[in-house]
Amino acid sequence: MESLEAACDNLTPSPLTVLASLKVNIAPAVIATTMSTSTVSYDLFHSYPGSPSSGASNTLANEPFDDEGADIIIRTADGTDFMVYKFILARASPFFKKMFSIPQPPGADEIPHLIPVAEDEKTIDTILRICYPDSNPPFDDTQAELVMEAGRKYDIGVVEAYFKAGVISLASSQPVKAYGLAYRGNLKEEAQAAAAFSLRFSLQELLVKEGSQFQHLPGMAIRGLVHYHIQCRDAAYKVVDDWSWITQDRRRDEDHGVPNRWWFQDDHSNLACRSSVLLPAVGRWVHVWLKKFTDDLKLSIAMPGTPLGQLDTCVAIMTAFLAGTASQCQVCREAAGAGVPQAHAALLNAIHNAQSKVKLDLTQMPL
């Protein structure tokens, strides 16, 4: 029979026509170096005869990708063969769906077709496990960018969803690393979320905690994160300073389940809780302990290096109440059990709302 190379050299029809005329089984193989999901390019390989691990240099992938009943073999750059099913890849990826729509000669489906790819075994294993119906593999931040890049190259939407969820999960403990993954991956919402998580730490703490991660960030990404911290600091200071978080009228408070703003000046027949300070900006008197707490809080916010987001507990505000003279009033003490946490929640929500309006500068994010 005429050789494949000679046929392609001597005949003018398309390679598909030539190969079909020679009755050679073919499978499309990915051109892994340059790929566009809008313009899909293919090369043509002989169908893969025999056992997928028959070559000495190739190994068979772990379960479930060792199923000899599968109709596709994906061979990685480091020589691992994955036995997979067309219909699973076609459902997960328009890229593979289009690839598998190329007409094949009679009998071609009797032997699994080989698809060589440029990715390594670990990357392909992760991608396929995401595509398969079992639970997703754990998010590996050391491998995540390679997985994301391959997922985009092969137009596998579930891979990007997996990457986004992993970045958000990572942000709670390593916000700078998560921010870098999102920034380099052009994921604006995830970058914004990671930056918000970073407010739990000061910039100085982030440099100590995740200093090596800054080496992998573009200069504009670092500048954006620093500027975001400064803007959020200013937003928090303004909330505490203007008392808008606590000076609503009492009827509105009752609508929100807060029956009595007892930290304003009240006559409980006890001189202790009458120790109050006038707030000229709002024309109200407030207990001295609360005014002292907010003054200390403003000072800590203004000091460089102080975390902005560590108001997760009401320990500091409760300590301020207990240290003040109002704690000697029986009425105030009884109200403090619920009232101090309510004051803390009102302040925390107001700060978070103000900071949520601060937008991270992502104009230089790579496409």
Residue 208 has pLDDT above 50, yes or no: yes
Cis, bond preceding 64 (omega within 30 deg of 0): yes
Helices then strands, each counted (H, E), the chain: 15, 8
Q: Say if CB 30 and CB 127 are below 8 A apart.
A: no
**DSSP letter string over 9-55?**
HH--S-HHHHHHHTT--EEEEE--SS--SSS--EEEEE---S-TT-S
- Domain 4-131 CATH class label: alpha beta
Between residues 116 and 49, which one has the greater pLDDT?
116
What pLDDT, on the 0 to 100 scale, is given for residue 310? 64
Q: What is the pLDDT of residues 117-130, one digit of tens each?
A: 999 999 999 999 99
CA angle 269, 274, 279 (to 5 degrees): 145
Average pLDDT of the residues of the chain: 79
Tell me the pTM. Answer: 0.76
115 near 77, Cβ under 8 Å?
A: no
- Grade residue 239 by pLDDT with cuts at 50, 70 and 90: very high
pLDDT at 313: 78
Domain ranges of the chain: 4-131, 144-230, 241-355
136 DSSP assignment: P
pLDDT surpassing 80 at residue 192? yes
Instruction: Name the pLDDT band for 300 (thresholds 50, 70, 90).
Output: confident
Q: Which residues are registered as beta bridge partners of 232? A: none
Tens of pLDDT along 49-100?
444 444 447 899 999 999 988 999 999 999 999 999 999 999 999 999 999 9
Of the ranges 50-59, 95-104, 155-164, 308-317, the best mean pLDDT one: 155-164
- Give residue for tokens 């992938």: 61
